[in-house]
Amino acid sequence: MELTDNRFVTEWINEVIAMTQPDETVWIDGSEEQLAKLRLEAVKTGEIIKLNEKELPGCFLHRSDPRDVARVEERTFICTKDPSGAGPTNNRMAPEEMYGKLRDICTGAMRGRTMYVIPYSLGVIGSEFAKYGIELTDSVYVVLSMAIMTHMGKEVYKALGSGSDFIKGLHTKAKLDPEQRYIAHFPEDKTIISVNSAYGGNVLLGKKCFALRMASVSGRDENRLAEHMLILEVEDPKGRVRYLSAAFPSACGKTNLAMLVPPEIYRDKGWKIRCVGDDIAWLKPGEDGRLWAVNPENGFFGVLPGTNERSNPNALAAIKKNTLYTNVVLTKENTVWWERLDGNPPRGAVNWKGEPWDPDDGSSGAHPNSRFTTPAVNCPCLSREYFNPVGVPISAIVFGGRRTKTAPLVYQSRDWTHGVFAGSIMASETTAAAAGAVGVVRRDPMAMLPFCGYDMGDYWRHWLNMGAGLEKAPKIFSVNWFRKNDDGSFIWPGFGENIRVLEWILARCFDEVEADISPLGFIPKVSDINTDGLDISPEALERLLSADKSLWESECGEIREFYSKFGGKLPEELLRQLEILENNVGTME
């Protein structure tokens, strides 16, 4: 049954039906009844496997095609009429050319299949932040995932009324052909089309495609930011509640930080950390001159390998029910397992491809980018502000990356412009979240390299403008939890202990602590990072906070080279900041 008579919706759906030719069209209303029916159907077709109801109630396992396990940046396109609309860091194709290719792929692609119509909202429906989308898909997995990840349901049609302000999303698995895989964004047409994939990051169109790529473009015009950031609530022993947002490239422990459990010594004193978001933040100035943020999503799509009692007990608790697992080990007992969950890989299990798996043969059981999809409400430390339609006020913005040697544990930028510079020079060692080489250092400004929907030079300009318009702009910090000793061991314990750095960051935001001036920015006095109960010497801490002259000299060279890609789009202010850094590095011992 059609759930809306909005002609912008119905005319578009009819066009897509004519092209893709599904056997049937099902309008998703968001009801549990309909979802339960779809789960049953998907179990029957083998698209998902029902897990042990006693151990994992409401949980299912999905396996993606082995050639389709991660985002595919080389096949992700921004399609603007303006040849320079996508900038030097995105793939671009002219819209007509991309539409032509997609038309060929989509024609008849849903024959023999059902097409689902998914109405969803990013942000609480009806709130000032909310934006609406409709995804058409031939994948039940997508329907079930979108039901978890977004505010999904027929209420969206009511909020949309007869208007055309929604993002059109078309997804077809087509033949899952990697050679014909395209994740195409048409910002000028408010349209996303994704074909030949069924992996979450490529096909849950509300996530990276809309909430970051499309929303970054509209953010530029609407005085907003759409960022690859978690949002964290910190309550200190005095009961003061403050918020920070933090950008890290994929799989740098963002979900762990977002759900951080303070060490006992902090818990005893009354520190509490709550999660508002783990991946995406939408930000806009409030009337009070502060920057306010919401998490537009409604669930978590987190990486499983390495998720365990120590790294993220909250995530482990969250995924015990109503969770969709992708590409993990299936045990004899119909439960799931992944690398570094515990030291007990199961015997007699099957690996992520469904093949018999011997944990002693050296192969991994779960895919390195295996995932959980779980509702936000499952998270034991979810902030009460999570559903607040006006969001939360941000005191600090934190940029991070995975750097073995170069970046110090933490430093504070001198001002907003310097902070934008710090974000623009972010770099990290690559991980398995995107297809491609693992362990290579790549520059990833604001962790947005794969997600900024327009020219990054213009994006930085937008950041600079946003700051200029904020009376009480957040302070900006850079962190690196991943610095290593020469023997390859991590110097900083990370995980829950990161609260010690957050404590300093917030103290700086509220002028409660002095700092030293370093060539990079403000750094903590060694005595101002609380190491009570930690086995770390003042010398080691000093090393963590230090910056090596020769490494920073080459860093400056790499930044200059990276910046040169942006030509005239690079804001002058950032070039000035690079010159200041180069001078400062010149004065290092």
* Nearer of residues 414 and 442 to ligand OXD, judged by Cβ: 442
Segment contacting Mn ion by CB under 5 A, of 41-49, 271-279, 290-298, 507-515: 271-279
From the CB of 71, what's the least distance to ligand OXD, in Å? Answer: 6
Q: Which of ligand OXD, Mn ion, none does residue 201 bind to, with CB < 5 to 8 Å depending on kind?
A: ligand OXD
From the CB of 401, what's the least distance to Mn ion, in Å? Answer: 14
Express the helix, strand and coil content of the chain in percent, nearest 5 each: 35, 25, 45
Q: Which of 68, 279, 497, 555 binds Mn ion (CB under 5 A)?
A: 279
- Please state, in angstroms and rounded to a whole number, the distance separating the CA atoms of residues 581 and 589: 14
- Please state, in angstroms and rounded to a whole number, the distance separating the CA atoms of residues 290 and 392: 10
- Please state, in angstroms and rounded to a whole number, the distance separating the CA atoms of residues 350 and 373: 21
* Nearer of residues 124 and 433 to Mn ion, judged by Cβ: 433
402 sits near ligand OXD (criterion: CB under 6 A): no
Q: Which of ligand OXD, Mn ion, none does residue 153 bind to, with CB < 5 to 8 Å depending on kind?
A: none
Q: Name which of residues 349 to 368 contact Mn ion (CB under 5 A).
A: none
From the CB of 429, what's the least distance to Mn ion, in Å? Answer: 16
Residues 180/193, Cβ–Cβ less than 8 Å:
no
Q: Which two tokens stand for residue 51?
A: 């897990």
Size of the site for ligand OXD (CB under 6 A): 6
From the CB of 209, what's the least distance to ligand OXD, in Å? Answer: 12
Q: Which of 89, 250, 331, 480 binds ligand OXD (CB under 6 A)?
A: 250
- Please state, in angstroms and rounded to a whole number, the distance separating the CA atoms of residues 369 and 71: 10
Burial class for 565, CB neighbours closer than 10 Å (0-12, 13-18, 19+) = middle
Q: Which two tokens stand for residue 54?
A: 């006693």
- Side chain identity at residue 63, one-letter code: R
- Side chain identity at residue 56, one-letter code: L
Q: Could you tell me the end-to-end alpha-carbon distance of the chain, in angstroms, rounded to an integer?
A: 72
Using Cβ positions, the residue closest to Mn ion within the complex turns out to be 279
Q: Which two tokens stand for residue 29?
A: 């209303």
* Nearer of residues 166 and 399 to Mn ion, judged by Cβ: 399
Q: Which of Mn ion, ligand OXD, none does residue 71 bind to, with CB < 5 to 8 Å depending on kind?
A: ligand OXD
3-class state of residue 217 by DSSP = helix
Burial class for 48, CB neighbours closer than 10 Å (0-12, 13-18, 19+) = buried
* Nearer of residues 241 and 435 to ligand OXD, judged by Cβ: 435
- Please state, in angstroms and rounded to a whole number, the distance separating the CA atoms of residues 300 and 293: 17
- Please state, in angstroms and rounded to a whole number, the distance separating the CA atoms of residues 578 and 122: 36
- Please state, in angstroms and rounded to a whole number, the distance separating the CA atoms of residues 211 and 227: 8
Catalytic-labelled residue, pool 79, 209, 252, 452: 252
Q: Which of Mn ion, ligand OXD, none does residue 425 bind to, with CB < 5 to 8 Å depending on kind?
A: none
* Nearer of residues 258 and 349 to ligand OXD, judged by Cβ: 258
From the CB of 211, what's the least distance to ligand OXD, in Å? Answer: 10
- Please state, in angstroms and rounded to a whole number, the distance separating the CA atoms of residues 471 and 347: 59
Q: Name which of residues 175 to 234 contact ligand OXD (CB under 6 A).
A: 201
How far, rounded to the nearest angstrom, does the alpha carbon of residue 28 sit from its chain's CA centroid? 26
Q: Residue 123 carries which DSSP code?
A: S
279 sits near ligand OXD (criterion: CB under 6 A): yes
Tell me phi and psi for residue 189, to 5 degrees. Answer: -105, 5
From the CB of 434, what's the least distance to ligand OXD, in Å? Answer: 6
Let me know if 509 is a catalytic residue. Answer: no
Q: Which of ligand OXD, Mn ion, none does residue 455 bind to, with CB < 5 to 8 Å depending on kind?
A: none
From the CB of 266, what's the least distance to ligand OXD, in Å? Answer: 27
- Please state, in angstroms and rounded to a whole number, the distance separating the CA atoms of residues 239 and 272: 9
* Nearer of residues 186 and 451 to ligand OXD, judged by Cβ: 451
* Nearer of residues 211 and 581 to ligand OXD, judged by Cβ: 211
Segment contacting Mn ion by CB under 5 A, of 274-282, 379-387, 398-406, 523-531: 274-282
71 sits near ligand OXD (criterion: CB under 6 A): yes
List residues binding Mn ion (CB under 5 A): 279
Active site residues: 252
Positions that interact with ligand OXD (CB under 6 A):
71, 201, 250, 279, 301, 433
